[in-house]
Structure 1
Amino acid sequence: MEYFSAIQAAELISTVFYTFVGVALMGVVWKVIDWLTPFPIMKEIEQDQNMALAVLIGFLFLSISIIIAAVILS
């Protein structure tokens, strides 16, 4: 019970706020990547089953999320 009393409302609100900021930034990054590529990424991954592109996009999102988390925490 002491653990829950130690959590303050400001910490909870800031956690929720920064979660939405991080998700919004990831959405913006996705739109920019989709806009910059000369081919439709979703078609390549879903219909043509381009696994290399899927892995590349996955690693790209992982690296972008680590950068966003570092910026938010600093």
Structure 2
Amino acid sequence: MTLDWLKPEIILGTTMYAVIGVAIFWACFVIVDKLTPFKLWEEIVEHKNVALAIVVGAMCISIGNIVAAAIHG
């Protein structure tokens, strides 16, 4: 059993890809929020719109899968 995954370059590369993935995910979420006719956060939190929360959750999972696939290659 080798500990190749403990090498600094592997840890740094993994951290870099994670930060890039989160940044791309956040940018996509902000773009979708700007494209909708209302503020997503306000509608979900203040108006308790459960249907919108489910749609936004599905959108987050989808964007996360796309970003992960793009990073993975």
Shift of 1:47: 1.0
Question: What number of residue pairs does the alignment pair up?
Answer: 72
5+ residue gaps, structure 1, are none
Q: TM-score, normalised by structure 1?
A: 0.89
What residue is the counterpart of 1:17 in the other structure?
16
5+ residue gaps, structure 2, are none
User: Any idea what the Cα deviations from partners look like across 1:24-54, whole Å, max 9, x if unmatched?
Assistant: 0111011101110111111110111000000
Shift of 1:10: 1.6
Identity of aligned residues (%): 32
Structural RMSD (CA): 1.2
Q: TM-score, normalised by structure 2?
A: 0.90
What residue is the counterpart of 2:60 in the other structure?
61
